[in-house]
Copies of this chain bind each other. A is one copy, B any other.
Amino acid sequence: MAGFQVRTDLALEARESMAEAKKKLHGIQVEEYEIEEDHIHVTRVLIETKNAAKSMGKPIGTYITIEAPEILEPDEDYHREISECISKELLSMLPKKEEGLSVLVVGLGNREVTADALGPRVLDNLMITRHIMRTYGKAAYENKCVNEISSIEPGVMAKTGMETAEIVKGVVEETQPDVVVVIDALAARSTKRLNRTIQISNAGIQPGSGVGNHRNALTEESLGRTVIAIGVPTVVDAATIVVDAMERVLKDQNKPEEWKDMERIHKAVTQLNSMYMTGKDVDSMIKKVSYTLSEALNMALI
């Protein structure tokens, strides 16, 4: 399928897409577990070598994927189970520091575009402690060891004129957090993953991946501290959907090689390059998912 870049931000999907070619890939470890009664499925993909990174199209690092198809159902207790699972996995990636960590949570995306508002909206329900700790010390929290939580919504380049990475770097330099947690809306390849899959990774966020263009490298290398990215696919890239459908048509006709030559299709797909696909109920999806993520962060960080 050379010539088209199939866009997916999910390591899980990247792996699936190669599954048929090579059953076991060198330099990649995969663990899975199930929280049975709640139907939560957790997959841990470790990309350990440069070669593995190259064949996966994802940088070296750990990618935890939590699939929770029932996240969108009304049962409140279930949401708590998902939040607890996300919280636990997030904690497994955080460095330990006896006197408490200072954590900057970055909400990427555009609050004005519903499907891209996940990051900003997670911040809305986050417990922020840094300014209180700085003013009153631990006494404000009964001398418990509380992390210093701060947050920033950097906005999108069309509105700020700056790369997200410039803003985040500046704030990190000035406030010196131990850890940067970045929340973002992702693009999935399949509609079936939308809004019910949470990916946590310590590989940071790379320029060019993902849905929008609001991101630039936010990685341990560029920021000089642990960077944990939490993402949820909220859109499907429009071109990807069409390419995938094409493939299925031609596979059914046993002519998978043929479509590469079709000029008109190539053009149609190129035209879709700045388009994305999302569900009509995207507002209530984003509301539920962002609330679950806020809760998970509050559990893990406070």
Contact A173 B175 (CB under 8 A): no
Task: Check if A272 is an interface residue, CB within 8 A of chain B.
Answer: yes
Which residues of chain B have C-beta atoms less than 8 A from A128's C-beta? Answer: 158-161
Are A249 and B259 closer than 8 Å at their CB atoms?
Answer: yes
- Evaluate contact between B151 and A159: CB separation under 8 angstroms: yes
**Is A145 positioned at the interface, with any CB of B under 8 Å from its CB?**
no
Main secondary structure of the interface of A (DSSP, over half): helix
**A278 close to B (CB within 8 Å):** yes
Interface centre among A150, A162, A163, A172 (most CB of B within 10 A): A162
| A194 closest partner in B (C-beta) | B275
**Residue of B whose beta carbon sits closest to that of A112:** B283
Q: How many residues of A contact B (CB 8 A)?
A: 71
Contact string, A229-247, partner B, CB cutoff 8 A, digits 1/0? 0000000101001100110
**Residue numbers in B under 8 Å from A271 (CB-CB):** 191-192
Instruction: Determine if A241 and B272 form an interchain contact, defined as CB atoms under 8 angstroms apart.
Output: yes
Chain A positions 106-123 with a Cβ under 8 Å from a chain B Cβ: 110, 112-116, 123
The answer to whether residues A279 and B274 also contact, given A161-B150, A166-B171 and a CB cut-off of 8 A, is yes
Instruction: Tell me how far the C-beta of A271 lies from the nearest C-beta in chain B, rounded to whole angstroms.
Output: 6
Chain B residue nearest to A264 in the complex (CB)? B248
Do residues B162 and A130 form an inter-chain contact, with CB atoms below 8 A?
yes
A149 on interface, CB distance cutoff 8 Å:
yes
Looking at A161, A175, A213, the one whose CB has the most chain B CB atoms below 10 A away is: A161
A211 close to B (CB within 8 Å): yes
**Chain A residues packing against B (C-beta within 8 Å):** 110, 112-116, 123, 128-132, 148-153, 155, 157-163, 166-167, 169-175, 191-192, 211-213, 236, 238, 241-242, 245-246, 248-250, 252-253, 258-259, 262, 264-265, 268-269, 271-272, 274-284
A112-B114, A192-B271, A213-B280 given; name 20 further pairs at CB < 8 Å: A113-B282, A113-B283, A123-B159, A129-B161, A130-B161, A150-B161, A151-B159, A158-B281, A167-B170, A169-B170, A170-B174, A211-B280, A245-B265, A246-B246, A246-B249, A248-B265, A249-B262, A274-B281, A276-B278, A276-B279
